[in-house]
Amino acid sequence: MNYFFSIFIRGLSKEKFYSLIESTEKFTDQSLEAEKDLIFGQSKDISMLSCILKLREGYPEARFGFSQYIGLAKGLSKIAKLGEVLISEEIEQQVIESFDITSLGMLSIEGMSSQILVYQIEQPVGEMKFPKQRHEEITIYRKHEAEALQNLLRVSNAVLVVGNKGSGKTAFLNQVTADWDNKEIYRTFCPSYSLGRTLKPITDIANQILGVHTVKKIEEKQRTIEEKLRELEMVDIGTSYLAILDFLGSYEEESILEKLELKKRVEIITECVAEVVKRISWNKPVVIIIEDIENMDASSVNFMQHLMEKLVDENICFIFSSSVPQVNISGLKEFELRGIDIKQLETLIEKVTGESIDLPPTTPFHVNQYLQLYREEKMQYFYNQYSGEAALTHFGLPFHDTTTIIKRRVELLEESRREFLFSLAIAGVDIYSDELPIEKKYSYLFDYFVERKYLERYLNNYIFASTLLHNEIYNLIPDKKGRHVHLADYYRRIQGFEEQAAFHYLQAENYKKALEYLMKSARLAIKKGGYESGINYYTQALELCQRQRAVADLDTIVAINEGLADIYRTLGEEDKALKYYKVVLDSYKEILKE
């Protein structure tokens, strides 16, 4: 049996209207509809009345009608007083045992020639019962591919999932791991947008393993790490403790390890992390997932390669994803994620929208964005109806290209929210909210954009729902240079953020500052033990000097070459060290001639 409900409420702002629609639709069988000052819908569950009573708490200015007939439901809501929930006579016997009701007698309803018997719902009797919430799933489960990947993991502990951008690799991995409650899963990703933080994917995993990924205070981190190491019964707990604190940057003073020779320090840290993971796997199988490893920094690649070699005989598996099959980590079994059949995508669209569309060649990401826009445009359409502006009698939306869809989604945002989203897109794909110059009064917008599928929660922070989504939004931003300058100047004032400052100066085309912070980034990377990344930063600095000759003087070029020479000498690569020392020597000769 169908029941109809109607909400009569005037003057809702767009935001409150959307919130009311979203709160109500979770419990309905179909999408809601709207007329001037009216929102109405239907449900097959009489306990929808409990939802109506709950809505009354948040919207005391609303009036509600409930009946087996849509016309009666609308009429009842219009004659109700503020906060009243009225039902028609045919509902009375069905609700009398679940709710306290009061008869209001025979009343006139707009559009009806005769009066009807009306009751008012007062409060529930006993515990309130609610309809089952509706979950609108907009992904396609790849059952056979999920089974194939799990079969591959039985014969290999290291797998690379390869799929084109937008093919749904993240959603696929979510599906595969959804039932892995019997495993310890640690997961991160490597964004392509910025220079990257040296060893970030490895420190992300280590923080999760040690249970400190949500801990901010250094003292609490230190205590938690020490307790975890004791729980795991580490053999040399003192060295392990210092090594991990050094690696995670959670040591307030200069550690003993910092005084060790570079390769030895990295070796000790790798050994400690491997030992921690190994001991955890003795109690529960461990899964380490790193997405988009084609963007992984050189030091993380080296670290991960050594970690895999040390843990090859343990109950641990590594799953990586990439949009290209050639990555810098060896020993991986490739698993190709094929595209979803176009008919399945068309069926998904019809299931969510009720409309049949013949799709061109497309991707799950494209379809997902279309469905998000469909929802947002429909909400706008409903609000126009509620405001008495809509002239159309039916809502429909053509299937556009991805760029057009995302541009339209952004256009539908209020200007202040659009500006906030642009600020996040300039900052990066992964958003550390406490590291950005954002006023506290706007902090609620993080969750606003999570609800609208622009962002997702990630550990203790946020990430864009897709790097493709981030790229499209970034391309829409006006005055990118000015925004990058603003962030670069902000980051350069904070110790430890040299890599971010270098990236934003590069994007702002302030090459002199970019060169300065590339060199600082190199020194920071080396201090962390990421000598490969240090070499990479110095190399980028040299290339920048060659492209932009006006930004570097001879002293700077000498410093870069000397930095490279020192790294290679420390690593024992004498030939490479001599090559750069020779450049330094020749440069000094030039200086002396002058």
| Lowest model confidence (mean pLDDT) among 157-166, 234-243, 373-382, 567-576 | 234-243
The Cα–Cα gap between 468 and 38 comes to 38
Lookup result for tokens 């126009």: 384
Predicted local distance difference test score (pLDDT) of residue 518 = 96
Q: Has residue 253 got a pLDDT over 70?
A: no
The rounded distance, in Å, linking the Cα atoms of 383 and 376 is: 11
* pLDDT of 381 over the 70 cut: yes
Q: Which amino acid is at 456?
A: E
Least confident of 247-256, 396-405, 515-524, 529-538: 247-256
DSSP H helical ranges for 359-479: 364-386, 402-411, 415-427, 445-451, 467-475
Provide mean pLDDT across the span 274-301.
93
Question: Looking at the chain, how many residues does it have?
Answer: 594
Q: Spell out the alpha helix ranges (H) of 59-112.
A: 70-79, 92-95
Q: pLDDT tens digit string along 93-139?
A: 888 888 899 999 998 888 777 889 999 998 888 888 888 877 666 77
Alpha-carbon dihedral 453, 456, 457, 459, rounded to 10 degrees:
170
Query: Cα-flanking dihedrals φ and ψ of residue 155, to 5°?
Result: -115, -10
Tokens of 89: 């006579």
The residue among 361, 376, 341 whose CA lies nearest residue 22 is 376
CA pair distance 448, 318, nearest whole angstrom: 34
Question: Containing H/E element for 290?
Answer: strand 286-291
Q: What is the mean pLDDT of residues 287-301?
A: 93
Separation in Å, CA 436 to CA 424, 461, 462? 9, 12, 12
What is the average per-residue pLDDT within 333-351? 92
Are 198 and 373 spatial neighbours (Cβ–Cβ below 8 Å)? no
Q: Report pLDDT digits (tens) over 4-14.
A: 999 999 999 98
pLDDT attached to residue 551: 85
Dihedral sign of CA atoms 536, 537, 541, 542 in order: negative
The model's confidence at residue 281, banded by pLDDT at 50, 70 and 90, is: very high
Among residues 569, 275, 128, which one has the least CA distance to residue 267? 275
**What is the structure's pLDDT at 566?**
92
Cβ contact 198:533 at 8 Å: yes
DSSP assignment letter at 131: P
Is the pLDDT at 256 greater than 70, yes or no? no
In sequence order, what are the beta bridge partners of 5?
A: 41, 66
Structure confidence at residue 213 (pLDDT)? 85
156-172 b/e with 16+ CB inside 10 Å = b? Answer: ebbbbbbbeebbbbbbb
Across-strand partners of 289?
187, 319
Q: What is the DSSP letter of 284?
A: S
- The domain segmentation of the chain, as residue ranges, is 3-124, 143-336
Helix (H) or strand (E) holding 117: strand 116-124
Q: According to the model, what pLDDT value does residue 592 have?
A: 56
pLDDT at 305: 93
Which CATH number describes the domain made up of 143-336?
3.40.50
Binned at pLDDT 50, 70 and 90, residue 80 comes out as very high
pLDDT at 136: 66
Spatial neighbors of 255 by CB under 8 A, at least 6 apart, are 242, 245, 246
Model confidence over 406-437: pLDDT tens digits?
Answer: 999 999 999 999 999 999 999 999 888 888 88
CATH of 3-124, one of 3.30.70.1230, 3.30.565.10, 3.40.50.300, 3.50.50.60: 3.30.70.1230
In 3-state terms the chain splits into helix, strand, coil percentages (rounded to 5) of 55, 15, 35
Q: What is the mean pLDDT of residues 228-233?
A: 90
Q: Locate tokens 């020192």: which residue?
A: 566
- Region 227-232 average pLDDT: 91
pLDDT surpassing 60 at residue 594: no
Supply the mean pLDDT for the chain. Answer: 89
Question: 322 with 294: CB under 8 angstroms?
Answer: yes
Lowest mean pLDDT among 21-25, 35-39, 146-150, 487-491: 21-25
Beta bridge partners of 4: 42, 67
